[in-house]
Structure 1
Amino acid sequence: MTHSDQHRTEIVVGLVATPPDHPARVTARLAAELAGLLAEQVDASVRWAVRQSWGEVAPRRDGGADALLDDLVQRCTDDGWDVAICLTDLPLQADRTPLIAQISTRRRAAIFSLPALGLSQLRTVRAVLPYLVGAVLAGAPGVPGRRAPVDLTSRVAVIKRTIGDDDDGEVRYVASRRIGRARLLAGMVRANRPGRALLGLSKLLVGAFGTAAIALTTSTIWQMGDALGGLRLTVVMLLGLSGLVSWLIVAHDLWEKPGHDTPAELARMFNLGTILTLALATRVSYVVLFLGTMLTAVLLIDTSVLEQTLQRPAHATDYLTLAWIISSLATVGGAIGSGLEDEKTVRSAAYGYHPEPSDRADEGR
């Protein structure tokens, strides 16, 4: 550190990930570069220090954004920060409209709801985070730093800015009601990591493959697939996948129930996030199962044997149809296999569930 650096005013910015799951990964990516972005876009005459920390695994749900902001005030005081920014994957709302960000100059804090950004979360947060810090500094008493232009409405599509009625330094950025809700659901699935749910349900896929292997040896299934048309095969597939998702939710208690600390609207959003995550994971599993079943059928079932059973010339589409009906029926066997999964692994697909991080002792480093 040079002599001039030692005499520059230092501003400490705390980044809090609440809960410490998906937001913690985003925070870790941003912490290393945020100081440079703040010097470039907010104020180069001060020395910026960025601290990253973890919030509660199960934050208060009934208080919404204000509850998170109140917690940030305490973190600012306890850790000696000048500004606190909370990144959360809670689907926050303001008057039933998705809330993207809320700034409180009085509390020297701001929150950012990652799922409200849709799929491009990291890129958008990197672009607007300096503006949030600058906005807090602009009205916070006793904190140096010049104002950065708050231009979130031009950097995040389809949002608008609202100011608190009582002029208490509260500024909210909300999304449009229709497009914002669609983007919020997409962001919730992104934050819920459907790839983790897919990899975690390995025994489900093994059970489905076992069922498919047995079904391939049954000529009755061949005849059934030949007799069913495309419409009925589609219905069977959708019923099998819907039944699998329902079984996973019921068997592993993934359904979020409204309560005194979980408003009904928030519970509905959690359940939608869980259903969409499981639906995506099970559909990818179905594609893998379908391809594996078709390959096995081509290798093991000779065309002459298939023609003898169907009593007509066999075509490539017959193998596709065979793999289609067997994969749909095998999802029932996959549901049985899912009962053997580790409970913690399956529970990770529930949007409202966040396990305690194993390295929590290292937080704040």
Structure 2
Amino acid sequence: MAISEQHRPEIVVGLVATPPDYPAQVVARLAAELADRLAERVDPHVRWTVRAGWGEVAPRRDGGVEALLDDVARRRADARWDVAICLTDLPLHTERVPLVAQTSARRRVAMVSLPALGLRQLRALRAAVPALVGRLLTDASEERVPPVGRAPAELAGQVAAIHRVVGGADAGEVGYLASRLAGRVRLLTGMIRANRPGRTLLGLSKLLAGAFATAAFALTTSAIWEMGDALGGLRLTVIMLLALATLVTWLIIAHDLWEKPGRQTPAELARMFNLGTVLTLALAAAVSYLVLFAATTLVAALLIDTSVLERKLQRPVDFTDYLMLAWIISSLATVGGTIGSGLEDEDTVRAAAYGYHPEPGGWREEKEA
């Protein structure tokens, strides 16, 4: 059995994470199972070897997908891989439509944009990456003997994010595009996931501490009780939205999270980065608000006796009144929490910016290796 294994032809597939932040986590999970999937879906008579590697921390933005494929091709050649697949969190476009993947037989590399896959990225990659590897081996073969019988159009039927295929299949330069409307929605949700709002939420600990302190003080102020009783649901909704908008705006301004278009960052890419940042911060702020609202409701119900609240409001009260009280207090406390947000660790808040990628530990050793 060992002899037959040694006599099998070996094909080395490189998985490159560019930048080595969120894509590196996806690469690590995919690399552990990719060899078996390649044997199952591409060719069982080949000894598949999968190598995981890191790409640039700050990939080039001005050259689009062609610059990215060039960088991956150099990485493939230096590492002596047969083919390479790059997973990136860059939101790429072709013909103003989200680009899901692209293959280049000339370079023997392919690229997959993780945000374009939406929320269920690993599931889509399990279908897409073996098909892309098979496509590269087919198109790059001098004999033009397909090791796997899948045409580019078949991948569109396997991956929900892919709507149509463009480019010359005969030349090996094939692009896989999303739909114009649903693809943009999927791209935005994928960008939020890639930006990891949970990391932003956990990082804003001082903001939550400041908001809780403000809420605790407001609970002891009877004037706030009367204000919550006087305001209706519509006005409380407006106040809540204004408080959340103030918090998000303050975070962006105070920590310089706004991506400015320039010579190295096209305007369209800068807009996508900023949209990803705003959506990530908005989601983290909304979850923080819900946590604050729930805690404030609980504390109000325990701290303020029903008889005391009835005497102040001069009418019978029920649990709805505690919810309205927690609503106005949470909105005011959110504004107070923006002061605490200015005290956050700079790197922690900067991580919420979509275009910001810190250099991971061991990156220089990986590049030298």
Q: 1:127 to 1:167 in 2, by over 3 A?
A: closer
SS in 1 for 2:163: strand
Unpaired runs of 5+ residues, structure 1, are none
Q: Any idea what the Cα deviations from partners look like across 1:5-64, whole Å, max 9, x if unmatched?
A: 222211111000000111111100011211111111111222111100000110001111
Q: Does 1:269 align with 2:269?
A: no
- Cα distance in 1 for partners of 2:196, 2:114 equals 13
Unpaired runs of 5+ residues, structure 2, are none
| TM-score for the superposition, normalised by structure 1 | 0.96
- Cα distance in 2 for partners of 1:166, 1:128 equals 16
Question: Could you tell me whether the CA contact under 8 Å between 1:76 and 1:84 is conserved in 2?
Answer: yes
Counterpart in the other structure of 1:146: 147
Counterpart in the other structure of 1:191: 194
1:294 CA displacement: 0.9
Q: Which amino acid aligns with 1:6?
A: Q
Alignment coverage as a number of residue pairs: 365
Q: Which amino acid aligns with 2:211?
A: A
- Cα distance in 2 for partners of 1:148, 1:340 equals 58
SS in 2 for 1:198: helix
Question: Could you tell me whether the CA contact under 8 Å between 1:255 and 1:271 is conserved in 2?
Answer: yes
1:166 CA displacement: 10
1:287 CA displacement: 0.6
Q: Any idea what the Cα deviations from partners look like across 1:151-205, whole Å, max 9, x if unmatched?
A: 2111122533434369642100000111100000000001111111110111111
- Cα distance in 2 for partners of 1:141, 1:261 equals 36
Q: Any idea what the Cα deviations from partners look like across 1:71-108, whole Å, max 9, x if unmatched?
A: 11111211111101000010011011000000111110
SS in 2 for 1:100: strand
Counterpart in the other structure of 1:330: 333
Q: 1:152 to 1:145 in 2, by over 3 A?
A: closer
Write the mapping of 1:94-173 to structure 2, written as runs, cut at 5 A.
94-141=94-141, 146-150=147-151, 151-157=154-160, 159-164=162-167, 168-173=171-176
1:332 CA displacement: 1.0
Counterpart in the other structure of 2:249: 246
Question: Could you tell me whether the CA contact under 8 Å between 1:42 and 1:145 is conserved in 2?
Answer: no
- Cα distance in 1 for partners of 2:300, 2:38 equals 60
Deviates more, 1:219-228 or 1:309-318: 309-318
| TM-score for the superposition, normalised by structure 2 | 0.95
1:340 CA displacement: 1.0
- Which consecutive segments of 4 or more residues in structure 1 shift more than 6 A? none
Q: Which amino acid aligns with 2:35?
A: A
Write the mapping of 1:221-240 to structure 2, written as runs, cut at 5 A.
221-240=224-243
- Cα distance in 2 for partners of 1:137, 1:167 equals 13
Question: Root-mean-square deviation (CA), in Å?
Answer: 1.7
Question: Among the aligned pairs, what percent are the same residue?
Answer: 70
Counterpart in the other structure of 2:48: 48
1:142 CA displacement: 5.6
SS in 2 for 1:159: coil
